[in-house]
Amino acid sequence: TTFQRFAGLDFDPARLPQDWASGGTGEGAVVHAFHQALWGNWQFEVNRSSDPSAGRLRWTKGGYQEARGSNYPDAVGGQWYIENALGLLDSPGEWYHDEASLRLYLMVNGTAPPGPGVAAG
């Protein structure tokens, strides 16, 4: 059989915060999709044709990690996570860089905001 590279995934939108996707599409977010045996993962950049509110993420970039990957003609239900989405910052130490505004968002580790010594560079 031939090597396959997936073009998207469908999920239950109730499992993510409603407003996590920037611009409503999640464009620029990165999906890390694990192989069923969890021996590795592929990364994909979410594009504009996605509709996160309906549980659909689509991409055209990515999926070339791990040499040829594997062949899953009927792969369903693999584990995955999303990074590079401001609306998903929810744990201390997570961060998001907004390229358009050159702003860095940081979920601080503690109960008080960081002092004046915190800088990005």
* Contact of 45 with 28, CB cutoff 8 Å: yes
For 12, which DSSP code?
-
Q: According to the model, what pLDDT value does residue 30 have?
A: 93
15 near 9, Cβ under 8 Å? Answer: no
pLDDT of residue 19: 79
DSSP string computed for 57-86: EEEEEE---STT----TT-----EEEES-G
The pLDDT tens digits along the chain (121 residues) read 555 677 888 999 998 887 788 678 888 899 998 877 777 788 999 999 999 999 999 998 888 776 555 555 555 557 889 999 988 888 888 888 888 888 888 888 777 766 676 665 5
